[in-house]
Amino acid sequence: MKHSTGEKLFYFLNYIVLALIGLSCLLPLVHIAALSLSDKHAIASGSVSFWPVHLEWGAYKVLLKETPVVQAFRNSVLITVVGTALNMVATVLAAYPLSKRYFIGRKVFSFATIFTMLFGAGIIPGYLLLKSLGLINSYGALWLPGLVSVWNMMVLRSFFEGLPDELDEASRIDGCSEWRLIMQIVLPLSMPVLAALSLFYAVGHWNSFMNVLIFINDSSKHNLSVLIQQMIQSQSLMQEVTNVQPDLALTLTPEGVKAAGVITMTLPMLAVYPFLQRYFVKGVLIGALKG
């Protein structure tokens, strides 16, 4: 099928706009990566653009040896993995019954969940509630308040509603229990949307910042987001490093170490995303449309 001149022009302009948007997201990250791999004089002179000048790995060595980035990385992985697993279990258990027309009180529970999207208790009541539950300074304070994202639950419910009723009927005729139906039939068919929602939850946990600052008082339990933010704001970072290794001051700058911290925080999500990308678009589209 041939496209008209107007359509070709429209597609061409779309490609240009999308390319500019993509570059506006990519180039700052490339610049930060180049800073983290450049030497002191190149950074100080402002000659680093999108390619490292005089390749130098010292910033990453300092980051690993002289800062608690390894512990913070472990904390981020723990928060993300456990939090995402709890989120997905709770979301499936919430979305599946609400997708069934025979579920008693379906409309009431649906309204109650959607109501929480419009109104929230606020930070202070939430803090007092978690304190009364004894969850302050524990990762439970990060996992429990956002256990179910209502939007993600609605997307998953829409997907479940689109599954053929014949699957349910045939399974029950064969004597399949409700749990076996979910585990062996419904969830395997839902892998694209489950992968997309898992990515949403994982990115949210990995980038968690304000909740960690509010609810986690022990600095040894802080994640990468908080540590990197403290590094960026700290003016005494390089002084602390040079006190331990004075020779590093000759080759490193605070900007290079901070850039290395930003890349360390960003890289894991960039590494995971390509493996889930094929499920991402498909899962969102399937979950967003009924039928």
User: What is the predicted pLDDT for the residue at 283?
Assistant: 54
CATH architecture observed for domain 58-288: Orthogonal Bundle (1.10)
**Chain Cα centroid distance, residue 262:** 15
How confident is the model over 277-284, as a mean pLDDT? Answer: 61
The alpha-helical segments, DSSP class H, found in the chain are 5-36, 40-45, 58-66, 69-98, 106-118, 123-132, 140-143, 150-162, 165-173, 178-181, 187-189, 191-206, 210-215, 224-233, 237-244, 254-288
Q: What percent of the chain is predicted at pLDDT more than 70?
A: 88
**Which tens digits make up the pLDDT trace of 14-66?**
999 999 998 998 888 888 888 888 877 777 777 778 888 877 787 787 778 77
User: What is the predicted pLDDT for the residue at 20?
Assistant: 93
**Which tens digits make up the pLDDT trace of 156-206?**
888 888 888 777 778 777 777 888 888 888 888 888 888 888 888 998 999
Q: Are 151 and 184 in contact (CB under 8 A)?
A: no
User: What is the predicted pLDDT for the residue at 289?
Assistant: 46
Q: Are 216 and 78 in contact (CB under 8 A)?
A: no
| Annotated domain spans of the chain | 1-56, 58-288
Q: Are 202 and 80 in contact (CB under 8 A)?
A: yes
**Among 21-35, 59-73, 76-90, 101-115, the range of highest mean pLDDT:** 76-90
Question: Rounded to whole angstroms, what are the CA distances from 111 to 87, 100, 122, 154, 155?
Answer: 20, 15, 20, 11, 15
pLDDT at 291 over 50: no
DSSP single-letter state for residue 221? G
- Give the chain's mean pLDDT: 81
pLDDT at 211 over 70: yes
Number of H helices, E strands in the chain: 16, 0
Name the residue with tokens 């009924």: 290
How confident is the model over 230-239, as a mean pLDDT? Answer: 68
**Which tens digits make up the pLDDT trace of 118-162?**
877 778 888 888 889 888 888 988 998 888 888 888 888 888 888
DSSP string, 208-273: --HHHHHH---GGG--HHHHHHHHHH-SSHHHHHHHH-GGGGGT--HHHHHHHHHHHHHHHHHHHH
User: What is the predicted pLDDT for the residue at 258?
Assistant: 79
Distance CA 38, CA 216 (A): 35
pLDDT at 290 over 50: no
Confidence of residue 248 (pLDDT cuts 50, 70, 90): low
Global pTM value: 0.81
